[in-house]
Amino acid sequence: MNYAFILLGFDLISKAFSYVLAEIPKISFFVLIILAGFLIAKLVAGQIKKRDLHKKEEIALVIEGIIITAFFLTGLEFIGIKATALVEMFKALLYVIAAAIIILIIKPDFFENQKKARKTAKRQ
């Protein structure tokens, strides 16, 4: 099949096809890492949703996103893509989430009070 692409003059497609064939083990492992991330994220989110927590849907969604992103970045590193900027952005996102969790631990109704303050400001 690669020879057919070369004969037709599709050099770029030929090179891409050759690369995919040569890297099938890495690509398949990358897909397995991503699938494992989705599976683990769904399991963890399901466990969170079973608990009697305030705003459990939002917490489950955030945790699911964090787990999937972590597995995706791990998969990228495995196949040789250096995702340094993405990793740094992910760290910053985790810092923001950690700060929000600390605020919620210290003052659980903090975000709800903000909503009430906005509603009363709109009425005036």
Domain boundaries, the chain: 2-35+69-123
**What letter would DSSP give residue 124?**
-
Q: How far apart are CA 4 and CA 66, in angstroms?
A: 44
- In this prediction, residues 86-93 reach a mean pLDDT of 83
Task: State the first-to-last Cα distance of the chain, in angstroms, to the nearest integer.
Answer: 72
The pLDDT value given to residue 121: 62
Helix (H) or strand (E) holding 18: helix 11-22
Considering the chain, what percentage of its residues have pLDDT values greater than 70?
Answer: 75
The pLDDT value given to residue 124: 61
Q: Taking 90 as the threshold, does the pLDDT of residue 32 lie above it?
A: yes
Q: Taking 80 as the threshold, does the pLDDT of residue 10 lie above it?
A: no
The pLDDT value given to residue 116: 60
**What letter would DSSP give residue 119?**
H
Sequence-ordered list of residues with C-beta below 8 angstroms from that of 66, at least 6 positions apart, any chain: 93, 94, 97
Identify the residue with better confidence: 12 or 31: 31
The pLDDT value given to residue 84: 83
Q: How far apart are CA 111 and CA 90, in angstroms?
A: 23
The pLDDT value given to residue 36: 94
The pLDDT value given to residue 7: 61
Predicted structure pTM score: 0.62
The pLDDT value given to residue 118: 60
- In this prediction, residues 67-93 reach a mean pLDDT of 84
Contact call for residues 111 and 99 (beta carbons, < 8 A): no
